[in-house]
Amino acid sequence: MSTDHAPLKHLMPGWFATVMGWSGLALAWHRATPALGDMAAGISLVAGAIALLVFALLAAALLMRWQRHHAAVREDLQHPVRHAFFAAIPISALLLITLAVAHFGPGVPGLGALWLIASVAQFAVTLWVLSRWLRATATAGPAAWNWGGITPALFIPIVGNVLAPLAGIPLGYGAWAAAQFGLGLLFWPVVMVLVIVRFGQAGMLPERLLPTLFIFVAPPAVIGVAVLQLGAPAPLAWMLWGMAAFLALWAATLTRRITDQPFGIPHWGMSFPLAALAVLSLRLSDTPEGRWLAVPSLALLALASLVILGLTLATVRGLRAGTLLVPEGPPVIPIKTQMSAA
């Protein structure tokens, strides 16, 4: 088989969105345990096992890709959109560790060390992604600012940082987790403004990237859960829930256009944000003022479960049909305007 048609060559880091989706769903079902009992805990363990298995398979495949298709990996690192998806790797690890803490407690040997490694890796990836902007502007001037490369994928590094307190605090790294949370909190509104301005400067996203609009939902949803972990007052979490819920409804207005697109890995961009919103909704439904949210939060959990199951079935079909691990279509932005490589 020609290397140009080798499936492994086209295994891009965005595939780790599948791990994020299943991990988020596992956390959501765990959060539903007070309402649904042992059934929810069991479903959470199954979803977590799927996430762990997929993570192990993807990590092994990515290592093989680095060895056999080094140039393809470098192309991803230099790509104006795909580079941000490398942050999905440490985020997946953080989510799996968070799930382990939720189920088995912080006393599991080695869990704290694993969390610290994943947390530092997430910090480093965030620094690398954001530093690309500075290097591009410094070397080529304002013309190097690539509005076409500003997409919701840039929220992915942000989410990894605001996720830190969920496991970091129970594992005893509260100070570092809070500091890392602050980093994400700083850049979330910055990236949001940039993406919205991008719509005016470079137009709406290409059709095949429309599912990634759901990534808008993830930062406020995860921040809402994290601020409660940090001991913030409930009204702040409710404000963030309102933002996340509105952004989910806003993205949902494009559902028909999204479902009309041939299935691709960008569709997994819907999975983790929906699961994260379900987690926050279930968490708030446990508060006295949130009892009205009990039924809607379970409905949202059911919706997230159906979406992720549907995405999984579509992925399996795509792999069997050979329509996924193939060369990407036409560039989403002109190559000549790409940011400089790392």
The pair phi, psi for residue 241, each rounded to 5°, is -60, -40
Average pLDDT over residues 101-129: 95
SS3 158: helix
Torsional sign, CA 70, 73, 75, 77:
negative
Q: CA dihedral defined by 286, 226, 156, 317, rounded to 10 degrees?
A: -30
Helices (H) and strands (E) in the chain, counts: 14, 0
Residue 137, pLDDT above cutoff 90: no
Question: Does residue 342 lie within any of the structural domains?
Answer: no
Whole-model pTM over 0.85: yes
- Report the domain count for the chain: 1
Contact between 31 and 282 (Cβ < 8 Å) = yes
Question: Does residue 339 lie within any of the structural domains?
Answer: no
Question: Does residue 245 lie within any of the structural domains?
Answer: yes
Question: Does residue 338 lie within any of the structural domains?
Answer: no
Question: Does residue 97 lie within any of the structural domains?
Answer: yes
Residue 297, pLDDT above cutoff 60: yes
pLDDT above 70 covers a percentage of the chain that reads: 89
Alpha helices, DSSP H, located in 105-233: 111-140, 155-162, 164-168, 174-202, 218-229
Residues 5-18: pLDDT tens digits? Answer: 688 888 899 999 99
Average pLDDT over residues 31-43: 96
Question: Does residue 340 lie within any of the structural domains?
Answer: no
Q: What is the CATH number of the domain that holds 172?
A: 1.50.10.150
Task: With cut-offs at 50, 70 and 90, classify the pLDDT of residue 243.
Answer: very high
Q: Which residue has the higher pLDDT, 84 or 149?
A: 84
Question: Does residue 334 lie within any of the structural domains?
Answer: no
Domain containing residue 287: 3-327
Determine the Cα–Cα distance for residues 90 and 327; give it in Å rounded to an integer: 25
